[in-house]
Amino acid sequence: MQVLGGVGVRCRQLMKIKSINLYAFGMYVHPESLRAQLGTKYAGVSPSDLKFRSEFYDDLLRHEVSLTVRMVVLYKGLTVDLVRSAFQVSLRNRLRKVISSEDDEGLQIFCSYLSGDLKIHKGTVIDIHWQPGGRLQAVVDGRRVGTIFSENLCRAFFDLYIGDPPVSSSAKHSIGESFARILNN
């Protein structure tokens, strides 16, 4: 069973005048998986210190820790085309950071799951699960839409939330502090 590590909101600035809340998100972790992968290295480190260590987040992205990001759409004008386009751009940039290339077959497959027949509306819940073996599973409103086998895409996707720069710095540090508390329990 996974537990909530932290929450945040993804905003988009419009012409420096107004900020729109696109979606809320939460990151979940499987405590036993976290402890098995990183417990020896970080046990005993205070949560208030660990949340600022970039090495900790790098280790989270390098090891097969069972993670989930749950997104809840807040903006009623969000369409599947906008979501696909935003993820395509963001994930290409993160892939460039993770593997020095923006080409990854997993990205094309992931974007194909965000097709025109998929409906996005205010309140839509999107779960992205990082599972062992480099599997990235997408679930929309409880319906599994597909699984991609790409360790690089897994790292790139979760780098959006706990990498540099994150979509929300306060959420990243909240997640890091919570994960550190789990390691110390």
Task: Tell me the whole-structure pTM to 2 decimals.
Answer: 0.94
Question: What proportion of the chain, given as a percentage, has pLDDT over 70?
Answer: 100
Q: What is the pLDDT of residue 104?
A: 85
Token output for 99: 């593997």
Token output for 119: 């409906």
Question: How many angstroms separate the CA atoms of 175 and 126, rounded?
Answer: 19
The number of folded domains in the chain is 1
Q: What is the pLDDT of residue 74?
A: 97
Residue 44 is part of which domain span?
A: 3-183
The residue to which tokens 């974007």 are assigned? 111
Token output for 175: 């997640």
What single letter denotes the amino acid at residue 69? V
- 94 close to 136: Cβ distance less than 8 angstroms: no
Has residue 43 got a pLDDT over 90?
no
The residue to which tokens 């903006």 are assigned? 75
How do residues 138-163 score in pLDDT, each as one tens digit?
A: 999 999 999 999 999 999 999 999 99
Has residue 131 got a pLDDT over 90?
yes
How do residues 72-114 score in pLDDT, each as one tens digit?
A: 999 998 889 989 999 999 999 999 998 888 778 899 999 999 8
Could you tell me the CATH number of the domain that includes residue 40? 3.50.70.10
